[in-house]
Amino acid sequence: MDGNDRNYNGSIIPTMLNVKGKIIDSEEQWRNFEHKVRKNVKKAKRENLSCRVFHMNDMSQEEIHNFYDIYIHTMHRTNADEKFFFSFENISMFINRNPENSAICNIYHKDKIVSSELILISNDCIFSFLGGTDENYFDKRPNDFLKFEMINWARENNIKYYVLGGGYGYEDGIYKYKKSFFPNDIVKYCTGRKIVNTEAYNELFEMNNSYRREKGLETLNFDDTSFFPLYNKKVD
């Protein structure tokens, strides 16, 4: 919390843990990685994976296409939610309008791109945004290598933090994977919640539970803080 909750009269609920990794001396950074990260980076190097970061004048429509192809393939492969299927036109427009704040990191096996990530850049942070990996090359550990190389790029460009974010749940597998790079650099993300019309909220909450009871499903617990507003929680 940075004080932006001051004088807020609703409820403040810890919602998610996020990884905001501090970029430090390379040797100390290496020691701080969890063992599996060091192992996977070594594996990637033995497989002769290479990296290139495209930024500003290095960026071209071809590179944006290359990123998009591997990204959208990954979205299809993982059955991602529809909201993640950004069009090429939107991504290209975003990058071209924000050249200073966008970079693409590619990992190559020989001359083939096997993993790619769109990175957002601010004054002192880089942010992991969208990415994808060719599943045929998982065994070469390109994902770990990409994060490792982006940490090095950030250090070379005097960037202080690499924000990886969190997972879908509070401490799920995605979050734990990200944490393995920065085990000690965790920040808590909170949301402010306020029920303006209690009567309407309770009515909608009960309507959801009535539907669940009719279908023989588990009903909602009013004290559940994992979702807000609870009446809008979908049936799993």
Domain ranges of the chain: 24-189, 195-232
pLDDT at 1: 54
pLDDT band at 224 (very low <50, low <70, confident <90, very high): confident
Give pLDDT tens digits for 58-90. Answer: 999 999 999 999 999 999 999 998 989 999 999
Residues 101 and 83: their CA atoms lie apart, in Å, by 22
pLDDT at 9: 87
pLDDT at 226: 80
Residues 33 and 182: their CA atoms lie apart, in Å, by 6
Contacts 24+ apart (CB under 8 A), 129-132: 130/71, 130/84, 130/86, 130/91, 131/71, 131/74, 132/67, 132/70, 132/71, 132/72, 132/73, 132/74, 132/75
pLDDT at 7: 81
As a CATH number, domain 24-189 is 3.40.630.30
- The percentage of residues in the chain with a pLDDT greater than 70, rounded to a whole number, is 98
